[in-house]
Amino acid sequence: MADPIIALTQRFEAALASALGAEHARTDPALRRSAHSDYQANVAMALGKRLGRPPRDVAQAIVDHLDVHDLCTRVELAGPGFINLHLRDEALARELADTAGSDRLGLPSPAPETVVIDYSSPNVAKEMHVGHLRSTVIGDALARTLEALGHRVIRQNHIGDWGTPFGMLIEHLLDLGAATAESDTQAVEIRDLDGFYRAARAKFDADPSFADRARHRVVLLQSGDEATLSLWRRLVAASTRYFNSVYERLGITLGDGALAGESGYNAVLPGVLTELTGLGLTRESEGALCVFPEGFTGKEDQPLPLIVRKQDGGYGYATTDLAAIRHRLLDLHATRVLYVVGSPQSQHLSMIFKAAQEAGWLKTPARTTHVAFGSVLGPDKKMFKTRSGETVKLLSLIEEAESRASAVVREKNAELDPETSAKVAHAVGIGAVKYADLASDRIKDYVFDWGRMLALQGNTAPYLMYAHARIRSIFRKAAAETGSEGEALGAIVVKERAERALALELLRFGAVVGEVADTLEPHRLCGYLFELAGAFTSFYEQCPVLRAPDADARRSRLALCDLTARVLARGLGLLGIEAPERM
């Protein structure tokens, strides 16, 4: 494995066991990059406290048993009990050659699992808004990352395509004369989905006869009336066309194949209820059929229900989610199921997970996780809204991102031809929006701030994309100098401090991506890429590449440049962000 920290950790485990006893083998050696050496292990500090021994004695005992001969030139005790390690140049060169020699760039290969990711999941006949942006962007980054590690990822776009609102939506569609129940299956084009929904809603509230028709229409829909279903299908088709256009524009890996809407579970709902009842998990309560997962209570310690069949006999959101989790675990055989859904649905999902456990569908090694996230806030720290107080539509957001980005790109490089410039502006605009979302701790709210996300300095997509393009420009310059395409890269030999710092940073890539997969926190990868770009800048300032002292150094430094560009592009790619060759 590429990151020396992983090899060193194993050696520490052995040393801890023989110095202090097997029960200490799993103690984290707390290895960090260090300014004083290559790495520093802080394990003795905490361990000393726990064992009631001076940390320096503990550190000495560990060092006495530490066999890192082949990896390190020196191991030193420092201060109250830090252990400093200096990597051997050959060990470093070997790891770098390994990393550069494969397209995996040091990505780990964990045992492959089937992972279901429920993300995006907007609602039919409604506009996608910034609230859906987070689920879409975070879910897509996780899907790409888990796939890159070799997992079998099954994307499930759990769109809201069923329920009582469809009564009024279908009646409204009929009123508009856009289609009749009997007419052909010609597609409906709904330009303004939100407007359509609002108009239907307004009529429903104001006009009792329309409301009656809507309610009757729901009954027809649920009983499978073919003419009604065909209208419903047109609404769903119009919405999914719109969702797909947003996904395409955003570069999201969701297509029709990932569609797994609520309606798809209709046929199995009665069977799921029979199963839950057979297991003794359901109970009548106020005319509704409910499941009461253990450990959830509301007011006055009353057990909280998941309503699986409403008073009127209809099924709801919870019923569908129970059918969906059963399908994911038992039919798709997922051992990991991720729900990339906003924090407000946390209790609902916990109850679904618990019920799935009680039903025996969810058992080890399978596990489910609510990948929760906070809200998008406006500059005023309130929910992100347009100036007139409406929710921000995703499509207008994308348009604004691209137009703002094209100004940034023009300012940076006025010489790009118009076609390249437009492509780069698209990549920068979308990248900036995605990156701003991914770079903040997902559980927290974040402030949507155009100025900050498009800045060419700081932890932003434009900064990283620019760092990548700048490295590529070194190669263009090199090619112009030597008059040949693609100069030969040499073996990486690190001599200067800045070279070493960059090399060690490059070797962390795989471990960081592994961490993202474990913790489902893409901001760790963002932080890493930002540090990598910083290490590259220092290197580039201190170590001339094209003016290197000799040919070997030039080829080695070019190889470092190339590896940096590849890691940046790959890392951005895992986040769903493009890395243009020039900017």
- Tokens 């492509």 locate to 423
Q: Which residue is nearest to ligand ARG (CB)?
A: 121
Per-residue tokens: 348: 């609902």
The residue with tokens 């780069």 is 424
Shortest distance, CB of residue 199 to ligand ARG, whole angstroms? 20
Question: By C-beta, is 372 or 558 nearer to ligand ARG?
Answer: 372
Of 123, 130, 117, the closest CA to residue 159 belongs to: 123
If the CB atoms of residues 123 and 222 are measured against ligand ARG, the closer one turns out to be: 123
CB-nearer residue toward ligand ARG: 119 or 540: 119
- Asked if residue 118 binds ligand ARG (CB under 6 A), the reply is yes
> Is the CB of 139 or the CB of 571 nearer to ligand ARG?
139
**321 in contact with ligand ARG (CB under 6 A):** yes
Is 116 or 467 the residue whose CB approaches ligand ARG more closely? 116
- Work out which of 40, 123, 239, 421 binds ligand ARG, going by CB under 6 A: 123
Dihedral sign for Cα atoms in the order 518, 521, 524, 525: positive
Which DSSP letter does residue 27 get?
A: S
Check residue 324 for interaction with ligand ARG (CB under 6 A).
yes
Per rule CB under 6 A, is residue 154 in the interface with ligand ARG? no
What the block records as the tokens of 381 is 């720290």
CA atoms in the 13 A half-sphere facing the CB of 440: 20
Residue 501 is a binding residue for ligand ARG (CB under 6 A): no
The residue (of 121 and 556) whose beta carbon lies closer to ligand ARG is 121
Please name which of 245, 240, 239 lies closest in space to residue 257, comparing C-alpha atoms.
Answer: 240
Binding of residue 136 to ligand ARG (CB under 6 A): no
Contact between 514 and ligand ARG by CB under 6 A: the answer reads no
Instruction: Answer whether 85's CB lies under 8 Å from 37's CB.
Output: yes
Alpha-carbon distances, residue 17 vs 11, 14, 159 (angstroms): 10, 5, 52
Tokens for 293, please give them. 């997962």
- Footprint of ligand ARG on residues 17-76 (CB under 6 A)? none
Residue 484 CB coordination number (10 Å): 10
Q: Which of 354, 351, 393, 345 is nearest to 372 (CA)?
A: 345
Residue 398 beta carbon to ligand ARG: minimum distance, rounded to whole angstroms: 19
Total residues in contact with ligand ARG, by rule CB under 6 A: 10
Window contacting ligand ARG (CB under 6 A); options: 115-123, 138-146, 166-174, 365-373: 115-123
Q: Does 341 bind ligand ARG (CB under 6 A)?
A: yes
Nearer to ligand ARG, 116 or 507 (CB): 116
* The one segment of 42-50, 120-128, 269-277, 548-556 that binds ligand ARG by CB under 6 A: 120-128
Q: How many CA atoms lie within 13 A of 506 on its CB side?
A: 30
Question: 506-518: buried (b, 16+ CB within 10 Å) or exposed (e) per residue?
Answer: bbbbbbbbbbbbe
**Cis omega before residue 4 (within 30°)?**
no
Q: How far is the CB of 325 from ligand ARG (least distance, A)?
A: 8
Q: Which of 139, 160, 305, 576 binds ligand ARG (CB under 6 A)?
A: 160
Among 11, 151, 158, 354, binds ligand ARG (CB under 6 A): 158
Minimum CB distance to ligand ARG, residue 365 (Å): 22
Local structure of residue 328 (DSSP, 8 states): I
**Which position has the token pair 């609520």?**
262
Contacts to ligand ARG by CB under 6 A = 118, 121-123, 158, 160, 321, 324, 339, 341
